[in-house]
Amino acid sequence: MRFIKKTHYNQDIQLFKHQGQLFWYGALGVALLLSPLVLSDFYLGELSLVFIYAIAGIGLMLLTGYTGLVSLGHAAFLAIGAYTHAYLLAQGWPFPVSILCATLLSSLVGAIIGIPALRMTGIYLAVATLAFAIIVEQVLSHWVSVTGGFRGMAVELPSIGSFSLDDSVTFYFLCLFILTGCLFLALNLLRTSTGRAMTAIRDSEISAQSMGIHLAYTKTLAFGISAGFTGLAGSLLAHKIGYLAPDSFTLLISIQLLLMVVVGGLGSLHGVIYGALFIGLLPQGLALLRDTLPPALAQIPGLEPGIFGLILVLVLIYEPQGIYGRWLKIRSYFEEFPLYRKATHKRQRSYLRTERLK
């Protein structure tokens, strides 16, 4: 076990709490910077996709994992980011300006969607966001002059001035850079007042209000910020897939995003990364699985969404804290070895509210 001597409150505020963390994150950073030397273009592409998922996941995690508002419509923000970016690029806007505008527009739409959603929680909110995503999908298919309708639209190659960002190594670094920036922003948010206000709302609205937190404002803000991150991911995704069509942003994508934050571990940014790896690599795994299955089974339509759904349900039942929660348990097992006791992570049934009522 590690005991840290604290001599200043700053130590509880730092992003890296101790030398060990700094070392391991540094090592991870170096590995990611060097990986283009060893990985093939295909795997770099897959990693870029994982980064993009992670950026979108940060957005959804802030909303669902930290503010406690479930969204089943986040594919819509991905779509808004992607289409806006592609459209502005086609109009000749420079790449950085276009990606910024796409992010801001998505964020604005998110905030507007947040307003009617203020009075809803849980399943009602999930259904409302789902409805919103369906509306966006309809708009994408029918607003032909901008989106190209069902035919879709091609996305211009990314470049800043004459410097092309298109080859897989540069694009990989672009995604890595933006992901790092997003993580930095999200971590900062979570260690300051606004982030704490969001978690307060998740845990108890009534007491958040009594602490002076404006529910409507904070929830709208959470929606806006969340949609911004996801929209930003969308504009990167546009380049990754190269050609936008309404069916790139279906309900299945929304579910995948939700799956990502739940499987990764709600209420942790580590969880976003684990979740993104999981979602990014799962299709590869499923493809391998398909090859080994007898054809009769492998050809079942809807196999993929079925397996996604199954995993979601299993995680919710057996490991509600997701991959990250599981990892924490494994780690504390080794740290405390041989003193680990089986019930360490069992929640004590501390008390039931009704038992203490009178």
Segment interacting with other proteins, rule: CB under 8 A, options 47-55, 167-175, 206-214, 274-282: 206-214
Stretch that binds other proteins, among 76-84, 152-160, 183-191, 299-307 (CB under 8 A): 183-191
- Only one of the segments 16-24, 117-125, 198-206, 248-256 lies at the binding site for other proteins (rule: CB under 8 A); that segment is 198-206
Q: Which two tokens stand for residue 103?
A: 């992010």
Determine, following the binding rule CB under 8 A, whether residue 261 of this chain makes contact with other proteins. Answer: no
Q: Which residue, 138 or 204, has its beta carbon nearer to other proteins? A: 204
Interface segment toward other proteins; rule CB under 8 A; list 92-100, 121-129, 185-193, 255-263 = 185-193
HSE-up of 101 (CA within 13 Å, CB side)?
13
- From the list 214, 284, 285, 336, which residue makes contact with other proteins (rule: CB under 8 A)? 214
**Count of residues engaged in binding other proteins, rule: CB under 8 A:** 39
**Rounded least distance, CB 174 to other proteins, Å:** 21
Residue pointed to by tokens 């819509």: 76
Stretch that binds other proteins, among 22-30, 74-82, 100-108, 214-222 (CB under 8 A): 214-222
3-state secondary structure of 76: helix
φ and ψ of 153, to 5 deg? -145, 145
CA distances from 54 to 50, 61, 223, 332, 357 (A): 6, 10, 17, 26, 44
Contact pick of 19, 40, 164, 209 for other proteins (by CB under 8 A)? 209
Q: How far apart are CA 253 and CA 136, in angstroms?
A: 13
191 binds other proteins (CB under 8 A): yes
Write the burial class of residue 307 (CB in 10 Å: 0-12 exposed, 13-18 middle, 19+ buried): middle
The amino acid that residue 67 corresponds to is: T
DSSP 39: S
Judge contact between 117 and 129, C-beta under 8 A. Answer: yes
Shorter beta-carbon distance to other proteins: residue 342 or 347: 347
Residue 11 interacting with other proteins (CB under 8 A): no
Contact status: 7 vs other proteins (CB under 8 A): no
Q: How far is the CB of 64 from other proteins (least distance, A)?
A: 13
- Comparing CA positions, the residue from 23, 251, 239 lying closest to residue 135 is 251
Can residue 13 be called a binding residue for other proteins (CB under 8 A)? yes
Burial of 314 (0-12, 13-18, 19+ CB in 10 A): exposed
Q: Which of 188, 284, 299, 344 binds other proteins (CB under 8 A)?
A: 188
Let me know: does 98 contact 89? Beta carbons within 8 Å. yes
What span, in angstroms and rounded, lies between the C-alpha atoms of 319 and 264? 10
Q: Is 178 in the site for other proteins (CB under 8 A)?
A: no
The answer to whether 213 contacts other proteins (rule: CB under 8 A) is yes
- How deeply is 312 buried, as exposed, middle or buried, from its count of CB atoms within 10 A (0-12, 13-18, 19+)? middle
User: Which member of 192, 284, 299, 344 binds other proteins (CB under 8 A)?
Assistant: 192
269 binds other proteins (CB under 8 A): no
CA dihedral 185, 191, 192, 195 (to 10 degrees): 80
Asked if 108 touches other proteins (CB under 8 A), the answer is no
DSSP letters for 179-248? HHHHHHHHHHHHTSHHHHHHHHHHH-HHHHHHTT--HHHHHHHHHHHHHHHHHHHHHHHHHHH-EE-GGG
164 or 192: CB nearest other proteins:
192
Nearer to other proteins, 163 or 342 (CB): 342
Residue of 2, 341, 342, 347 interacting with other proteins (CB under 8 A): 347
Q: In whole angstroms, how close is the CB of 262 to other proteins at the nearest point?
A: 15
Binding to other proteins in span 131-170, by CB under 8 A: none
CA–CA separation, 254 and 77 (whole Å): 10
Residues near other proteins (CB under 8 A) are 9-10, 12-13, 185, 188-189, 191-197, 199-200, 202-204, 206-215, 221, 267, 347-348, 350-351, 353, 356-358
